[in-house]
Amino acid sequence: MDRKSVEQRLTEMLSVNHYSGGKKLLVEIVGNQSLLVENHQGITLYNDQKVIVKSKEGLVEIEGCMLKIKKISNEQLWVRGDIGCVKFTEKDGLIG
């Protein structure tokens, strides 16, 4: 098996389309300035230093400076700013 076919197979297995079709949480970070959350269920906290986003799987916590929600829809949420940290807490790990 040549190297190109192995890379193609890995790309197909890890394809974003594979996950978004199943309505699973998808978090994509572009550098440290932009972050996309797909298949969210709303925002539980929003200020210029922290954004917490709810999903079926748990919470996504984004910390940084000058954070702004640039775009929001039923499925997508774009956060821009100086992103310093992204944490995920599984639903089973949440209290209440």
| pLDDT value, residue 23 | 81
Picking from 35, 90, 80, 38, the residue whose alpha carbon sits closest to that of residue 59 is: 90
Q: Is the pLDDT of residue 93 over 70?
A: no
Q: What is the pLDDT of residues 59-81, one digit of tens each?
A: 999 999 999 999 999 889 999 99
Question: Which pLDDT does position 50 carry in this prediction?
Answer: 96
Q: Residue 76: count other Cβ atoms within 10 Å of its Cβ.
A: 14
**Global model pTM greater than 0.75:** no
pLDDT digits (tens, 9 = 90+) for 4-62: 566 565 555 544 333 344 588 999 999 999 999 999 999 999 999 999 999 989 999 99
- How wide is the angle at C-alpha 76 spanned by C-alphas 74 and 79, nearest 5°? 130
Instruction: For residue 87, name the pLDDT band (cuts at 50, 70, 90).
Output: very high
pLDDT for 3: 57
Confidence (pLDDT) at 92: 77
Domains of the chain: 25-93 (2.60.40.2000)
